[in-house]
Amino acid sequence: MSNPMDAFPGFFDRADPSPDGEFYSVPRLVTHIDDQAIAAVAALYAELGVDGDAAQPHRVLDLMSSWTSHLVSAPAELIVLGLNQIELDANKMATERIVQDLNVDPRLPLADKSMDAVLCCVSVDYLIHPVEVLAETARVMRPGAPIAITFSNRCFPSKAIRGWLATDDATHGAIIGEYLRLAGGFTPAEITVRTPSGNYPGDPLYAVVCRRR
């Protein structure tokens, strides 16, 4: 597949270019996917061995996080990075909370090779500098650490990038895979559908997973 970001100019434009801090200033203590999709996220994290049931203690980063991280059980350390302090404070599994707008500053305030896993749930479609963010993510991950980026078909349309809104779910997976390739430092991305196929009535859940080289 050709690079979907080359399809048209303005790929990273958004209908609402105002600061994200303003849009997310009001806490939203709700879930953005249904219960079955949430369960699919939790099952993925458990398969990757990044929750509290892991054989070894883990230090996990949840990017663009909120009041819940959808883990079955809390890892030894969970750093949540998001835009709303009230939402992050409500995340009971978190051991550290960082309020940061990655669309303003994609640099992560974390040490090199300090994370055992990175998660990003149904939020990647809002990034206007995704390659820079993922390059930073690679910097802070230990060799062999997994990154799991999940997405569905829901979003805030005014804040999602134009290229995401103009493409279908299969292409969304390819877009994320290209972000990871351009960021560098990752194994080839594996793209899977985590919810049932066919006439599934709920929110679909897709996952893009790879590891730090």
The sheet carrying 117-121 orders its strands as 96-99, 77-82, 59-63, 117-121, 146-151, 206-211, 190-193
d(CA 71, CA 94): 11
Q: H or E segment at 146? A: strand 146-151
Question: Token pair for residue 26?
Answer: 């009001």
pLDDT in tens, 57-110: 799 999 999 999 999 999 999 999 999 999 999 999 999 999 999 999 999 999
Question: Token pair for residue 125?
Answer: 């479609």
- Residue 70 backbone zone (phi > 0: left; psi -120 to 50: alpha; other: beta): left
pLDDT in tens, 22-48: 999 989 877 889 999 999 999 999 999
Question: Predicted confidence band at 1 (pLDDT cuts at 50, 70, 90)?
Answer: very low
Rg (CA), the chain: 16
What topology is assigned to 4-211 in CATH? Rossmann fold (3.40.50)
The whole-angstrom distance between residue 135's C-alpha and the CA centroid of its chain comes to 14
pLDDT in tens, 162-194: 999 999 999 999 999 999 999 999 999 999 999
